[in-house]
Structure 1
Amino acid sequence: MTLPTARRSRFAFTMLTSLFFLWGFVHNLDPILIPHLRRSFSLTVLQAALVDSAVYIAYFVMALPAGLLIRRAGYRCTIIAGLGLFGIGSLLFLPAADTHRYTVFLAALFIIACGLTLLETAANPYAALLGRPERATQRLNLAQSFNGLAAAIAPIVGARLILVQGPTDQQLQAMTASARQAALAAEAASVKGPYLVLGLVIFAIAIVFWFIRLPEPERKGGEPGADGAAASASTAIGLAWAHAPIRRAVIAQFFYVGAQVCVFSFFILFAASAAGLSHIAAADYLGWGCGVAFVAGRFAGTCAMKYVAPARLLLGYALICALLSVVTMFASGMACVAAVIGIVFFMSIMFPTIFSLGIQGAGANTEMGSSLIIMAIVGGALLPLAFGFVSDITHSIQLAYVVPLACFLVVAWFARTALARERNAAPVSPLTNGALKRV
């Protein structure tokens, strides 16, 4: 079959880009939900941290089923299924607020994250597919740039829509138990409007994907998935894991996502401790500083890849992030905050670049390889625990940046191996298993 027309490819890429923005937006509402739900339900810090756990565990649970779904039903159907779960989870915030049950909120977040897992497992390799093979990594970074844009917008918008001004802690203490419960329930209800709108937007986009025609990678008869015959899940996983670039990308992505969550999730506590900022001022630096740095880094990195090999750029950026982590550990005042914002700028290209380099040349292993790399997002649930442990035993949140430092060195190792592979082989397409067909 012939390749899709340039116009249809651009439209498909535009639709995919909207998905990158949407899942970036909902992910970056989580730092707003954590303090909001902690107050509304009088939670401990550990209980409030279950918000992140519910999200990142879903990636670990759903990534392999997502890869199998792609192999059986294709990218388009997987994207529609992911949008469906995303929308259902968003609408579940309404009964969660009405019943004022924290477990329902966690269930809603888990369902949203299951949908996001399907979307990310499908959209990342699909974005790499739509266009010239030699520009695959640059194209994926461009799509991921809109994920970074959402990281800048979501905290600012979410704080104004969700963090309503309720009674002070002193006023709550003076209330009767029933009045206090009613006041906290009213605060929790502030999530209903934003998540209702989000859910409706998601379903509208799912309808668009239902009716548009997208190209799918055509499988050859001898490959898994041809003529409805798919290899067993264990065989597919084993074949994907045996592909060295995928295996290294899984390791690198585990540590990168862990570093990213450490930097973003603990930023407000870090800025308050190291630079003496109020929580409100620290939140502004998180949105306008880290958020803007993240999206700027994505766009700048995408442009830089026109002139610098992606693996070489990744290696340089990882080493810079490691150096800035050392600065963060031992500097003081606003220099620390500036160093962290610098880390955010340079780490912005890491997720899509690791992903694209990992599946490069994977052929029939692309779908399961994508699933394994998405599973590695579970690093965002585990490595922040190490960050918190180091902070507790050293009584210094700055010294805890030894954890991101180690993570960035792992990313540098991955980039070095990818660069060595590029020197020994000509660039190939992330998907080399045939032409495209219409579905």
Structure 2
Amino acid sequence: MAGPPISSGAVATGGGGAVSYRPALALLASLFFMWGFITVLNDILIPHLKAVFDLNYTQSLLIQFVWFIAYGVASFPAAKLIERIGYKKSMVVGLLIMAVGALGFVPASQLASYGFFLTALFVLATGITLLQVAANPYVAVIGPPESASFRLNLVQAFNSLGTFVAPTFGAMLILSRSASGTSEGGTTQLSAAQRLADAQSVQMPYILIAGVLVVIAVTIALFKLPQLGSATNRIAADERRRHSLFQHRNLVFGVPAIGLYVLAEICVGSLLISFIQQPQIANLSAADASGYLTLLWGGMMVGRFVGAAIMRYIAPEKLLAFNALVAFVLVMTAVLFTGHIAMWALVLVGLFHSIMFPTIFTLGIKGLGPLTEEGSGLLIMAIAGGALATVQAWIADHHGLSISFLVPAACELYVLFYAVWGSRPTNAFPDSAAQETAA
């Protein structure tokens, strides 16, 4: 598919020479924060709406299915929009679409309609897809290519800051204010009045979110983002025909690596509260269990800051392999054990998931040269792999919640394979060649 017009060796320019990209990165960090914050609120919504609408695991994880299928549906139009109106305007449009989706929670809660909630979530995810398609490759190429993994891990750390804050926000303003959220084990039968009140408890949080999104959109609209250099220009069609994405092993194996990593992340985060609520694990209420969700995403935040620093000394693929191996062991511990051992093993997975997405992304586009625009678009589109979390939900409904975590365990093994072998570039374009036309 077509992607935004970028190249792995691009540098920021303005006027007649190179300009600092640090102020732009600082502003873009707010985008990473907000989409991390909003995405992880889904982990609060899943047990909340499961109780409100009396859903099984498969039905409740339609939240994640709708959310991540938006990446598959909206990535191509998003790339085309960026090509037409540019990065800056696309980011503003993405934020405004997200605000509309957040405000959709008001009529959804008033009508107590699960279908309306899913529609509002799809709109929200469409806006985030536009931001992802624009911001991830923009951050990767706005500075020196040799520090792309460091740079993307650094701003992704602010994404993790959002994921760290979101569970506490959701627990305080949604779960702790609902009858379903404060019942131990999540087994309380709700009356019709309680269901309506619980459904409406999401209104205030999402109205606040919509307001913040509009403020950020206005800020970005008024901010002068640096332009990418001429190396970011789309190559001519006749030249493009001489190159093939399938000649680049790191991209071919990187696309499923992104999809399966996102699936693993969503499987662990979405069902952590339900996992902890089980009598054989911790037998907690959803509100209390959400504190451990905060620790899961907090581990990811810490891991990204630490990982960004470590990558100055250790090759990204080596760190990725280590993290994938440890994450596999932790998930299998949760499958095979019960009690606090299983609970803490699953919570610790976040620490080792931390550097996976930005590292796979930068390894995937490494050496693509004039094909970077299409490669980055495919990698963002692969985020739709998170929609397959419904597979784990089906297993949980039919074979038990603990055994269903074999799904993310298998994903960790693929990421390990990618780090060890699949990420090695083939037919790579030299970075210097990509930079020759940048001025």
Task: Confirm or deny a common fold (TM above 0.5).
Answer: yes
Q: Which residue of 1 aligns with 2:225?
A: 214
Question: 2:245 matched to 1:262?
Answer: no
Q: Is the 8 A contact 1:366 1:431 kept in 2?
A: no
Is the 8 Å Cα contact of residues 363 and 432 (structure 1) preserved in structure 2? no
Give every structure 1 segment of 4 or more consecutive aligned residues whose post-TM-superposition deviation is greater than 6 Å: 167-171, 424-427
Q: State, as a whole percentage, how many aligned pairs show the same letter.
A: 39
2:203 to 186, 192, 195: 192
Q: What are the within-5 Å matches in structure 2 for residues 389-404 of structure 1?
A: 389-391=394-396, 395-404=399-408
Offset at residue 343 of structure 1 (A)? 2.0
**Map of 1:264-343 to 2, 5 A cutoff?**
264-273=269-278, 274-280=280-286, 281-287=288-294, 289-343=295-349
Any conservation in 1 of the 2:368–2:429 contact (CA below 8 Å)? no
Q: Partner amino acid for 2:162?
A: A
Aligned to 2:151: 139
**Mapped partners of 1:197, 1:433: distance in 2:** 46
Secondary structure class of the residue paired with 2:227: strand
The residue type equivalent to 1:248 in the other structure is F
Q: Partners of 1:391 and 1:148 in 2: how far apart?
A: 27
In the TM superposition, what whole-angstrom CA distance separates every residue of 1:116-171 from its partner, at most 9, and x where no partner exists? 00101111111112322211101100111111111121011112112323498978
Structure 2 contact 140–152 (Cα < 8 Å) conserved: yes
1:166 to 1:153, Cα distance in 2 relative to 1, 3 A? same
Structure 2: gaps of 5 or more residues: 1-12
Deviation at 1:432, TM superposition (A): 4.9
Deviations 1:217-244 (A, max 9, x none): 34469844x7xxx89xxx89x9545543
TM-score, normalised on structure 2?
0.85
Q: 357, 361, 378: which one pairs with 1:355?
A: 361
Report whether the alignment pairs 1:435 with 2:438. yes
Q: 1:31 to 1:221 in 2, by over 3 A?
A: closer
Cα distance change of structure 1 residues 219 and 111 upon mapping to structure 2, 3 Å threshold:
same
In structure 2, C-alpha distance between the alignment counterparts of 1:93 and 1:131, rounded to whole Å: 39
1:65 & 1:218 partners in 2: Cα distance?
24
- Alignment length (residue pairs): 415
In structure 2, give the amino acid aligned to 1:360: K
Q: Does 1:94 align with 2:74?
A: no
Partner Cα distance (2:275, 2:433) in 1:
39
* 1:24 match: 36
Residue pairs, 1:1-12, within 5 angstroms = 2-6=16-20, 9-12=21-24
Structure 1 pair 295–110 and aligned structure 2 pair: CA distance change class (3 A): same
Unmatched tracts of structure 1, length 5 or more: 174-179
Provide the alpha-carbon RMSD of the alignment: 3.0
Q: Are the counterparts in 2 of residues 90 and 198 from structure 1 also a CA contact under 8 Å?
A: yes
Deviation at 1:403, TM superposition (A): 2.0
1:20 CA drift (Å): 0.5
**Which amino acid in 1 is paired with 2:75?**
A
Choose between structure 1 and 2: higher helix proportion: 1
Looking at structure 2, the residues matched to 420 and 413 of structure 1 have their Cα atoms a distance apart, in angstroms, of 11
Q: CA deviation at 1:313?
A: 0.8
Distance 1:222 1:124, change over 3 A: closer
CA contact (8 A) 2:369 2:429 kept: no
Listed as ranges, the matches of 1:34-433 within 5 Å are: 34-163=46-175, 164-166=177-179, 172-173=190-191, 180-181=192-193, 183-219=194-230, 223-224=234-235, 239-240=244-245, 243-273=248-278, 274-280=280-286, 281-287=288-294, 289-382=295-388, 384-391=389-396, 395-417=399-421, 420-421=424-425, 428=431, 432=435
CA offsets per residue over residues 28-63 of structure 1, 9 Å max, x none? 111222233334344444433221121111111011
User: Greater RCO between the two (CA within 8 Å, min separation 6)?
Assistant: 2
Question: Could you tell me whether the CA contact under 8 Å between 1:66 and 1:371 is conserved in 2?
Answer: no
Match of 2:7 in 1: none
Q: Distance in 2 between matches of 1:213 and 1:67?
A: 21
| CA distance in 2: counterparts of 1:406 and 1:219, whole angstroms | 42
TM-score w.r.t. length of structure 1: 0.85
